[in-house]
Amino acid sequence: MNWETVIGLEIHAQLATRSKIFSGSPTAFGAEPNTQANLVDLGYPGVLPVLNAEAVRMAIRFGVATGAKVARRSVFARKNYFYPDLPKGYQISQYERPVVEDGSLDIVLDDGTRKTIGITRAHLEEDAGKSLHEDFHGLSGIDLNRAGTPLLEIVSEPELRSAREAVAYMKKIHTLVRYLDICDGNMQEGSFRCDANVSVRPVGQAEFGTRAEIKNLNSFRFVERAINYEIERQIELIEGGGTVVQETRLYDPDKGETRPMRSKEEANDYRYFPDPDLLPLAIEEATIDEVRRSMPELPDEKARRFVREHGLSDYDAGVLTASKELAQYYETVVAELGSQAKLAANWVMGDLAGALNRDNLDVTQSRVSAGSLAGLLTRIVDDTISGKIAKEVFEAMWSEGRDADAIIEAKGLKQITDTSAIERAIEDVMSRNPGQLAEYRSGKDKLFGFFVGQVMKATGGKANPGQLNELLKRKLSG
Ligand code: ADP
Ligand code: MG
């Protein structure tokens, strides 16, 4: 039997407001436990929530960026359940009437084709606190600093068909929320995480299979592994005569498997009802217009511009626009260089990305600034050094923090473009290798590479490659 996978993601993006969604408590990460929760966050009687306008503006930004409908009127609802880290006994969320509906986003599949993924809705809600199970023996600690932190829950249509597609979609949302400056995207700190709904069905069957929901995945790698494990599990289960039950599961990264957490609650278990403490959220046309006017250039637009104006491939443009900061770095290099966009792209995606990766740095923490990299590339373009020597110079720039010219000067790496100097080196190599010379002249063309290598060695790799080739051909043929 051939199986098809169906996946829908619910992504939680923590909105980058300074204060909470319904109170003035700060949202900064890493504070001492229970120092950033006030009476509203704790649900004391007699206090009232006040909606944070900045969180609303951020939700509108997301809606506009994904071509969604921004509801002129949406409603906050109480989702009721008991948990120690939820002192109010309910979470304020949006249910029947979310602020954002019917958006979409394009992802690029492995074969390079594009696929549009529908975004069913995005709604505003508050986060719960955190239960700390590790720090206390036989007890759980409760930290309510996170209670009331604003979240945008972004729900996709069940249109993803593999773990790879799910990861591509999640990365695209991650890129987008950071371009929009509405979420810092920090996955270790839990600012960006997702629940993956996974089901399988026989190829050709119209109805969806029963899904399992894998909760709280906070890395792209875990999303991919958890989904693939879940697909295998469900197929094996069904092929063995069993049936998938709808449930919530947890992914264990150490064991690489998903485990049941609880049976899935139905919406009516939560007894959703409109929160009587909050008025419906009304958004004026003018507010949406203002957000529209303040939109930055979005990743897809930027990538199209790189293709159009710089002549980059779709692939390169996609890589370079994956973060706003990387795109900006690249653009600065190109601006300083003038015209060599492809050269700049290759270096940013190659040597620079490699060095950043090796030292586990973000592009904003690069040891070689965009201006310094442009300085290095200028020396390739004006033939001061070859591309190969440039790699050596780059490494020195990275570790010593000096600019290209200083390193080229100090290490004497200037390319030899003086014809007579290259000729002298060639003649020297020829006289030291009479055997090879005779063989070459009797037709063994392959030895050309040997002579190039010898002259390069003799000149410390500094002979201009173009000149060397030309002069060597002439000299060798006598
Ligand atoms: P709930 O409110 O119970 O979380 P929703 O209907 O809002 O359920 O769907 C949640 C997510 O699950 C959405 O992303 C949706 O695309 C996805 N989904 C729904 N049905 C399936 C299914 N059969 N297989 C995989 N994903 C599904
Ligand atoms: Mg859900």
One pLDDT digit (tens) per residue for the chain, 478 residues: 899 999 999 999 999 999 999 999 999 998 999 999 999 999 899 999 999 999 999 999 999 999 999 999 999 999 999 999 999 999 999 999 999 999 999 999 988 899 999 999 999 999 999 998 888 888 999 999 999 999 999 999 999 999 999 999 999 999 999 999 999 999 999 999 999 999 999 999 999 999 999 999 999 999 999 999 999 999 999 999 999 999 999 999 999 999 998 776 666 789 999 999 999 999 999 999 999 999 999 999 999 999 999 999 999 999 999 999 999 999 999 999 988 999 999 999 999 999 999 999 999 999 999 999 999 999 999 888 888 899 999 999 999 999 999 999 888 888 787 788 888 899 999 999 999 999 999 989 899 999 999 999 988 888 888 888 989 998 888 7
CA of 5 to the centre of ligand 1 (A): 13
Check pocket membership of 211 for ligand 1, CB cut-off 6 A: yes
The residue length of the chain stands at: 478
Q: What is d(CA 408, CA 412) in angstroms, rounded to the nearest whole number? A: 6
Distance from C-alpha of 83 to C-alpha of 61, rounded to nearest angstrom = 32
* Probe residue for ligand 1, chosen from 9, 159, 197, 217 as the CB with the greatest number of ligand atoms within 8 Å: 197
38 burial class (0-12, 13-18, 19+ CB within 10 angstroms)?
Answer: middle
Instruction: State the Cα–Cα distance between residues 408 and 395, nearest whole angstrom.
Output: 12
Distance 197 CA to ligand 1 centre (A): 6
Look up residue 97 and give its DSSP letter. S
Question: What is the 9 CA–ligand 2 centroid distance (Å)?
Answer: 9
Determine which residue's CA is closest to atom 19 belonging to ligand 1: 158
128 is written with which tokens?
């719960």
The CA 150 to ligand 2 mean position distance, Å, reads 17
Instruction: Label the pairing between strands 212-217 and 247-252.
Output: parallel
- Taking CA atoms only, the protein residue closest to ligand 1 atom 15 is 8
For the Cβ of 157 lying below 6 angstroms from any atom of ligand 1, the answer is yes
Pocket test for ligand 1, best of 7, 155, 207, 217 (most atoms within 8 A of CB): 155
Q: What is the 3-state secondary structure (H, E, C) of 10-50?
A: EEEEECCCCECCCCCCECCCCCCCCCCCCHHHHCCCCCCCC
> Can you give the pLDDT at residue 233?
97
**Alpha carbon of 118 to ligand 2 centroid (Å):** 16
Q: Is the CB of 208 under 6 A from ligand 1?
A: yes
Q: Ligand 1: does its nearest atom lie under 6 Å from the Cβ of 166?
A: no
Q: How many Cβ atoms sit within 10 Å of the Cβ of residue 316?
A: 21
Going from the Cα of 52 to the center of ligand 2, the distance in angstroms, rounded, reads 24
Residue 118 CB–ligand 1 contact under 6 Å = no
Nearest ligand to the CA atom of 8: 1
pLDDT of residue 412: 83
Contact 431, 416 (CB under 8 A): no
Closest ligand to Cα 210? 1
Q: 391: which 2 tokens?
A: 């790699």
What is the whole-number distance in angstroms between the Cα of residue 156 and the centre of ligand 1?
8
Q: Which ligand is closest to the CA of 216, given by its number?
A: 2
Q: Is 102 within 8 Å of 68 (Cβ atoms)?
A: yes
CA of 336 relative to ligand 1 center, distance in Å: 49
- In this structure, which residue's CA is closest to atom 2 in ligand 1? 267
Nearest-CA residue for ligand 1 atom 7 is: 155
**Nearest atom in ligand 1 to 264's CA:** 3
The CA-based dihedral angle spanning residues 398, 404, 408, 410, taken in that order and rounded to the nearest 10 degrees: -70
Q: Please report the pLDDT score of residue 265 as a whole number.
A: 66
CA 454, chain centre distance (Å) = 45
pTM of the model: 0.88
Ligand 1, atom 22: closest residue by C-alpha? 211
Ligand 2 midpoint to CA 155 (Å) = 8
Is the beta carbon of 439 within 6 A of some atom in ligand 1?
Answer: no
Kindly identify the ligand whose nearest atom is closest to the C-alpha of 95.
Answer: 1
Ligand 1, residue 158: give the atom nearest the CA.
16
